[in-house]
A and B are shown apart, each in its own frame.
Chain A
Amino acid sequence: MTAGQPARAAALPRRPPARLARGGRRLRWARIVSHGVLLGLGLLAVFPVLWAVLTSLRPETHIYDLTPLTAPTLANYASGLRSYPFIRLLLNTVVIAGSVTVLQIAFALPAAYALTRFRFRGRGLVLALLVGSLLVPAQITLIPDYVIVARLGLLNTLFGVVLPEVGTVGFAVVVLRSSLLDFPTELYEAAMIDGAGPFATLWRVVVPNLRPAIASAAVLVLVSSWNEYFWPLLVTNQLSSMTLQLGLQTFQSERGTDWGALLAMNSLAMLPVALLFLLAQRRITDAFVRSGIR
């Protein structure tokens, strides 16, 4: 009730009635319990991350302490960077995830465009082959994929990691196609009147207008390629083509458990995606949710 309606409020007989008041009190309790549960689960979700980062900031002699951090130090980061080839691993991972993303979008965009814009015989089959490929569990394709990569002489190369990861291009097709289905036909018609061919239309009309969807798809592919573990594990065992995750595992098993250095490198490995997530939280979660996969 605002100040402008006092008379009307006064005229109403004894509002709110008892039943509503009880509901209100119950609602308040439900609210308090909900906040408690959400906060508890939220903290449980991020606690291991925070604990690992916190440990990585402890001085070496206090690594095993269970107390709050008193004197943070970057010593573990310095020693980690000396004993892990972190920069090399980071570069490999950036190149791999970046290439997979660029190739998937470059392949998926024209396909999604053709599937929504052209009517042709076999369109249903093409769509089924691309979408259906996502339903095949990765484990089924591993051995043949490995053999193909080996026969091409691409084991322990960045190409050998990247190319099979582009095989899941159907994923980007699904994401982009669902946006293109809603693409305003007026824009296509305007392009046609301007005399633009199908490719010019794709490049000059679709791409600029579809930027948010392309960005969503790209972020999804980027994050899943960055976090891909299984495939690189199979095809690389050398520093020249290893990803961050494999590097962490390899060097941990070689050097035993220097927990300070390991957790420092672990935290650094997490940093790029974590920053990306904090900067574009809403877009990233929305993209994940809308695609519904991974």
Chain B
Amino acid sequence: MGALLVGYSPHRDDLGALDLACQFARSDRVGVHALSVVPQGWPTPVAGDTDRELQEWAAGEGSAAAAAAAQYLATHDDVQGDTGWAAGRSVPQALLDRARSLDASLIVVGSGVQVAHGQIGITSKTDRLLHSSEVPIAIAPRGYHAEPGTRVNRITLAFRGDDATRSLLHRVADIAQRTDASLRVVTFAVRSRTMYPRTVSGAEDMVLTALIDHAKAEQAQARDHLHHLGFTDNTLAFAIPVGRTWGGAIDSLDWDRGDVLVVGSSSTHRLSQVFLGSSSSKIIRHSPAPVVVVP
């Protein structure tokens, strides 16, 4: 199992991704590799070496960023961290290349500066990663902070009960056991708004009831399966949060420090790497905890 790869930019003023990576690394007993990507010179040799100055500047930036990352990683002294920089024309592509060469198991990124503190934002770079990555992507909320020594205590899995999320359940159960985290399986039940003019009363409650019944049955199956894998009721929880909106349903769960939310990217099989899925993106936007998107 390879190290965790973190995309780090000293200009972003956000150390959440580094903190989150260390938290994961501590739980999974692996190392962290922080990578900063700097602009690349022209690949063809230019007469007179005119872009040498750019390359020198980029190298200076890169090593400064790597040093800054190393300095911060040192505060998590129980995690084995190393840093590096790479020149590339596309930050996501450089991260993906490095993830492949390191055989990384996870890419960790931050939320950018477009969202409010504590919220998860999908930057254009993250978006590209989500489309192309073969390994899971972890996104730290903006301003995320994990004290040295923090681990992942509980993994919350967004479980829909279809084939895609069932296979995801299997993989997440494996990770939960490896990292000694407890597992919480949740199925979000969001009630549609009533259609007006309303010709059938209570119609959406009726649909919601069916949805909840379906979720209960799926979760009962999942529970049997997980017990079989060695989970006990102490390390396993189930929930069907109900809400009028995704945000409401997510807020109705209790969230603690040390929680991580896992979502699948989409069940649209061949396109699974391209689309995040409308439910997943709504869940991510409202999640108060770090999110791992599994392709």
Chains A and B form a bound pair: no
Interface residues of A (CB under 8 A from B): none
Interface residues of B (CB under 8 A from A): none
